[in-house]
Amino acid sequence: MTVHTSPVQTNLPNIDFSRFHGSPEERSDVVAELRKTLHDHGFFYLTGHGVDPKLIADVVSVAKRFFALPTEEKLKIEMVKSSHFRGYNRAGLERTRGEQDWREQLDINTEVTAVPISPDTPPWNRLLGPNQWPEALPELKPLLLAYQAEVIRIGIDVLRAIAVALDQPENVFADIYEPQPSQLLKIIRYPGRDVAQSDQGVGAHKDGGFVTVLLQDVTPGLRVRTEEGVWIDAPSVPGTFVINTGELLELATNGYVRADVHGVVAPPAGSERFSVAFFLGARYDATIPVIERPADLRGAERGVTVDVLNPIFREVGHNHLKSRLRSHPDVALAHHADLVSSDPAGRVTGAH
């Protein structure tokens, strides 16, 4: 990755996570910082994560090589060919709140065998299956799987620290993500405004999982919206990940932790932006409980967000399936037309 020549000024906290595994005093400091951040906006920069800088640089490099492939090579693994929502998307095909997102991307998730589907099968089982990998770039698969293993480690470690910050045992969430959490990974390229037909790289949205681990290259664009409606820029900071909380933590804490709204502005004409986003979620068959909270946390709860355009469901598989069906209408129509409904609450046929 390109290294900045001067310090980057940010308005979000920077947490050195190595201290969580340091002395009792260091651990206590990290937990206190996390607790405040989780309630304020749920976004922070993470250092001290232990990921090899070479792996990070190699992943960014291979992502750029993938997007530089001829279009016909990328379309060999177009997402519409996968009923499991895996593969490549051209810019403008994904949607947020019904509007086009101007980014191209490759989505992978847990590498598993597809399960048989019957009328009695929970509909979210359709999400389980193999990834699609480009034949023209064989080095991409081992690099992304190695990187995925590292960000899974980070995500679970951060989730344990979040549990402690909420006065809970470290493993309080383990029952709803073990033995197989959702592990969605995206490599992403945002074309400049000379290509994009709006400034919406990604529209304002909340992430659906526990935590997101975001790697940014140098071009800015990420913005975070506070509870007061103020947008904060979150530029790239070398050596860091951006961490943000998702809907599952909002559900589990009755809104003490927010899944905060964020989005990406398309870069200027003649430029491009790259990022690698990892979304740690729970098992698809899990249901999110409201965890026990001490009195001071209960007093600061804000309740779960009510949004008719994006209802949040406690059934993990349904929540994730809802997101994929809405974000990728071409895949939904090609493979899951029987699940798509016009229900304004966002339900899909067969989901409970």
- Residue 145 has φ and ψ, to the nearest 5°, of -70, -35
Give the separation between CA 300 and CA 293, rounded to whole angstroms. 10
CATH of 14-335, one of 2.60.40.10, 2.60.120.330, 3.40.50.2000, 3.40.50.300: 2.60.120.330
In angstroms, the CA 262 to CA 277 distance is 13
Average confidence (pLDDT) over 256-264: 91
Q: 323 pLDDT exceeds 80? A: yes
| Domain ranges, ordered by start, for the chain | 14-335
Structure tokens at 185: 């990974």
pLDDT cut 90: percent of the chain above it: 75
Structure tokens at 180: 């197989």
Average pLDDT, the chain: 91
Give tens-digit pLDDT for 165-196.
999 999 999 999 999 999 999 999 999 999 99
- The pLDDT value recorded for residue 187 is 98
DSSP string, 260-329: --EEEEPPPTT-EEEEEEEEE---TT-BPPPPP--HHHHTT-------TTS---SBHHHHHHHHHHHH-H
Helix (H, G, I), strand (E, B) or coil at 4: coil
What burial class does residue 287 get, using C-beta atoms within 10 Å of its C-beta: 0-12 exposed, 13-18 middle, 19+ buried? middle
Record the pTM: 0.92
Cα(261)–Cα(232) distance, integer angstroms: 11
Q: Are 124 and 318 in contact (CB under 8 A)?
A: yes
Whole-angstrom CA distances from 308 to 99, 305, 311, 345 are: 16, 10, 6, 6
| Three-state DSSP string of 196-257 | CCCCEEEEEECCCCCEEEEEECCCCCEEEECCCCCEEECCCCCCCEEEEECHHHHHHCCCCC
Whether the predicted pLDDT of 309 surpasses 60: yes
Cα separation, 241 vs 310, in Å, equals 27
**What are the C-alpha distances in Å from 225 to residues 11, 150, 230, 234, 240?**
12, 28, 5, 11, 20
Question: 78-97 pLDDT, tens per residue?
Answer: 999 999 999 999 998 898 98
